[in-house]
Amino acid sequence: MANPLYDELFGAHSGKSTPFLLLCEGQTITHEAFLQVAASFAHMLTSSGLKPGDRLAAQVQKSPQALALYAACVQAGLVFLPLNTAYTVDELTYFIENSGARMVVCDSGRADGIRPVADRLEAQLLTLDADGSGSLAEGARNLPKTFTTVARDADDLAAFLYTSGTTGRSKGAMLTQANLLSNAKTLADHWRFDSDDVLINALPIFHTHGLFVATNVTLVAGGAMIFLPKFDIDAIIDKMPMATTMMGVPTFYTRLLDDERFTGDLVKDLRLFISGSAPLLSETHVQFERRTGHRILERYGMTETNMNTSNPYDGERRAGTVGFPLPGVELKVCDPKSGRELPQGDVGVIEVRGPNVFKGYWQMPEKTAEELREDGFFITGDLGRIDEDGYVHIVGRDKDLIISGGYNIYPKEIELVLDDQPGVLESAVIGVPHADFGETVVGVLVAEPGATPDLDAVAKAVQETLARFKHPRKLVVIDALPRNTMGKVQKNVLRERFNDLFVLT
């Protein structure tokens, strides 16, 4: 019996000395060398008692070894749960407990803080550092470099990615082997990836964009990645002449445009720039094309679905749109109350169906039933419309989710911290436009009668409680939050009021 995801992404490259990862320092890791590390990791995990279907939670810095851990989980039939490296121990506790993770892999520097949580939840703890060292790597050092791949079905779970709405606890989106593999193959074909491609990957690999899009597409095509630990403008400009493609978030492209070294001549050998995870401003499209002659290809995806739509490879890449549904993906715009499909051009909630759509939320059957219809359509919560030419436009979100720099930010989580601060009566957190990040976070506070909140102290409390990407870029105090007749805070009014806080200069 086969393991479809491993066989097509990884096993297809067994024994090949072809380049896979091109590192900053100039080293090259071949497909075969990478697979040998992954196999030794798989031995380490299974010898520790992990069985197919067990969950492994990983909060590790981006490195070739971190990527090999993903491959090892696939080969051993484990469910891989990548976690944002900015999460605090308090935040991690929920993910470990909710997922029932049997093992946690973290950076050595965080082990002391995480160990009590892992012990309480009866999860094993191993370490893996950015330089490839740690107890996982040390334990795997002398283990065999080949591993008998565990048989899995296409419908078996391969990964969890946690997401959430604006209220309630985070939800574990269950992604199957078929979900990940079908999307990788579709994207590789749609974006014309092949074994000659060299992709700049400066994205984090705890996120679907850097892992399940950039990495999986490269693997299924047999190409190579310039594998950068993070976005570093000097490193990207230095490596760009070696590349053929690049995937990024809007921040990458605005920062490249701010650098005079970024010229059309520098990128003359690149064939494709792809952007996603946050809206790309029309001004960025125009400036990028004027500077380089390239028109950025924007696409649309979600944690629960990977990619749903894409602007065309051939044909007009229309600024302000996310293109057309990908092959095999059905998309419709519906009335949010009745679920009835709306006429073309009308704004409604986007629903999608296809082999990319997740299996449901872990241990949340009621929430799964709310958002995943019996006919297979997933209610995305994104508001959109389809224009007369068939291009999909994302015009907002049914909920108040903020996407900043590609990261999902849920206002309620921040509001709970703000509301608990001395002198604060209540708060509302909104996203406002930002040239680099697509959106950024603003905290709107109402003071208790007779009080004056210490904004520096409030900001410090947020910094100590939540990951950095969730920190409000600005805190403002107003007399009262706008409400409708039912008492609901009108965040749209707040967004309009503070829309120009970070205007382009």
User: pLDDT tens across 44-63, in order?
Assistant: 999 999 999 999 999 999 99
Look at residue 505 in the predicted model and tell me its pLDDT.
38
User: What is d(CA 485, CA 487) in angstroms, rounded to the nearest whole number?
Assistant: 5
Longest dimension (CA), the chain: 72
Angle between helices 89-99 and 111-120 (to 10 degrees): 30
Ramachandran region, residue 461 (left: φ > 0; alpha: ψ -120 to 50; beta: rest): alpha
Residue 486's pLDDT band, with cuts at 50, 70 and 90, is very low
Query: In this structure, are residues 92 and 123 in contact, taking their beta carbons and an 8 Å threshold?
Result: no
Long-range contacts of 113-117 (CB under 8 A, 24+ apart): 113/89, 114/59, 114/89, 117/89, 117/92, 117/93
The answer to whether the CB of 124 falls within 8 A of the CB of 146 is: no
For every residue of 53-98, DSSP letters joined together read: T-EEEEE--SSHHHHHHHHHHHHHTPEEEE--TT--HHHHHHHHHH
Confidence at residue 336, expressed as pLDDT on a 0 to 100 scale:
85
Taking 90 as the threshold, does the pLDDT of residue 502 lie above it?
no
CA dist 381 and 397 (Å) reads: 6
Phi, psi dihedral angles at 133 (to 5 degrees): -90, 180
Handedness of CA 217, 221, 222, 223 (dihedral sign): negative
Question: What are the pLDDT digits (tens) for 410-428?
Answer: 777 898 899 899 999 889 9
Least confident piece of the model among 65-74, 84-93, 161-170: 161-170
357 near 376, Cβ under 8 Å? yes
The fraction of the chain above a pLDDT of 70, given in percent, is 96
Separation of alpha carbons 139 and 186, rounded Å? 37
Q: 């805070």: which residue's tokens?
A: 489
Whether 273 shows a pLDDT value over 50: the answer reads yes
> Which residue from 223, 240, 222 is spatially nearest to 231, judged by alpha carbons?
240
| Nearby residues of 218 by Cβ (< 8 Å), 6 or more positions away | 193, 197, 199, 201, 224, 225
Q: What whole-number distance in Å separates Cα of residue 466 and Cα of residue 404? A: 15
Supply 17's token pair: 């000395």
In this structure, what are the phi and psi dihedrals at residue 151, rounded to the nearest 5 degrees?
-70, 135
Sheet holding 198-201, edge to edge: 28-30, 19-22, 224-227, 198-201, 245-248, 272-275, 297-302, 306-310, 324-325
Could you list the beta-strand ranges (E) of 228-266: 245-248
Least confident range from 39-53, 164-178, 192-206: namely: 164-178
For residue range 100-141, list pLDDT tens digits in order. Answer: 999 999 999 999 999 999 999 999 999 999 999 999 999 999
